[in-house]
Amino acid sequence: MNLAEAPREQETVKCLLVDDLEENLLALSALLQGPGVELLLARSGAQALELLLVHDVALALLDVQMPEMDGFELAELMRGSERTRHVPIIFLTAGLSDARRQFRGYGSGAVDFLHKPIEPYVLRSKAEVFFQLYRQKRQLAYELEQRTRTLQLNEMFVAVLGHDLRNPLSAMIFAGSVLQRSADPSTRNSAELIVSTGWRMNRMIADLLDLARARLAGGIAINPEEADLEIIARRLQADREQLKPVCALELHCTGSLRGCWDSDRLEQVLNNLIGNAVEHGEAGAPIQLHLDGSAPEHIGIRVSNAGSIAEDVLGSLFTPFRGGRLRSRGEGLGLGLYIVKQIVDAHGGEIRAYNEDGRSVFALQLPRTAPRR
């Protein structure tokens, strides 16, 4: 059955019965037949394996003593195949209870032993439990697939919407930039508001597109090339001094900071972490950015600011659309730190956040050469 189909309320389940004696198969069939149950009968291990190649079964009842291939050998073959590895097996035996035989049976994958003559009520009760578990498993698999498809459609919608919104947004920002040249002060003020709001919306759309790329493609794609992290950091420092001189960025560099990375993505990482520090740190306190290139195989990045992150928020910082105190003053979507982690992961690096001596710290470690996908 295709998992895309909704399971019927009383879905037919298949049960495999294996015994070399025809009368035993007839007796088992009489006990287990009923609505919603299809019985597959095999007189040997070889016949059972042929049936298992084309049928998905909810339960297998195997006679222990059969010629050529006994029940234990059949069970071992079933456990060795991916298709039948998880089929529940109940052994049927006419022999006396023997601890060694039972040990071998459970070792080959049995869930239970039943001794002949079989008590009808016990057999039907045990079989019905496995039939119900099988139906529930199929129902859960169907629901999981449906939810996965819904999430994929939602993420594709976000990606398409974000892409289509960029063109009118660019036009709005351009028109606002033109209006900023107006001689009328009130017009200039309105134009500045339009432009700043437009750029903020542009950043939000970029975050949504990155989220969609990360979810749909299994991570954010990067294009590694030779880069110097110090050059990137000093350019960000200059931009911040020009745009927000009240919040200083102190840059400390040691060792060689050259490597093979996606420089645009690393600039996005630093920009997000620095912006996060400005937004949520103590007003006017300087942001400290340490770049450590003293190790031969990797570099270390540390962004810190005055003020601690609440302990109950630390564990969810890199979760998209997170709630909590850290977002209370922000105007974004709560995607910045999630995207930072996705970029760091794509570079084969690690990132963690913690509090230290009254300061919040984001510490990264990146290999000097990012893996190519």
Q: Which of 209-213, 321-325, 341-345 has the highest mean pLDDT?
A: 341-345
- The per-residue pLDDT for range 231-273, each reduced to its tens digit, is 999 988 887 776 665 678 899 999 999 999 999 889 989 988 9
**CATH number corresponding to 13-118:** 3.40.50.2300
pLDDT at site 372: 72
Does the domain spanning 148-217 belong to CATH 1.20.120?
A: no
Average the pLDDT over each of 68-77, 136-145, 161-170 and give the range with the smallest value.
161-170
CATH architecture of the domain covering 225-367: 2-Layer Sandwich (3.30)
Residues 13-29: what's their mean pLDDT?
91
Q: Can you tell me the mean pLDDT for 50-78? A: 89
Kindly list the domain boundaries of the chain, sorted by start residue. 13-118, 148-217, 225-367
What is the band of 50 on the pLDDT scale with cuts at 50, 70, 90?
A: very high
Crossing angle (nearest 10°) for helices 263-280 and 336-346: 150
The answer to whether the predicted template modeling score (pTM) of the entire model surpasses 0.75 is no
pLDDT band at residue 40 under the 50/70/90 scheme: very high
**6 pLDDT higher than 70:** no
Report, as an integer, the average pLDDT of 62-71. 86
What pLDDT does 325 receive?
A: 41
pLDDT band for position 330 (cuts 50, 70, 90): very low
Q: Tell me the pLDDT of the chain averaged across its residues.
A: 82
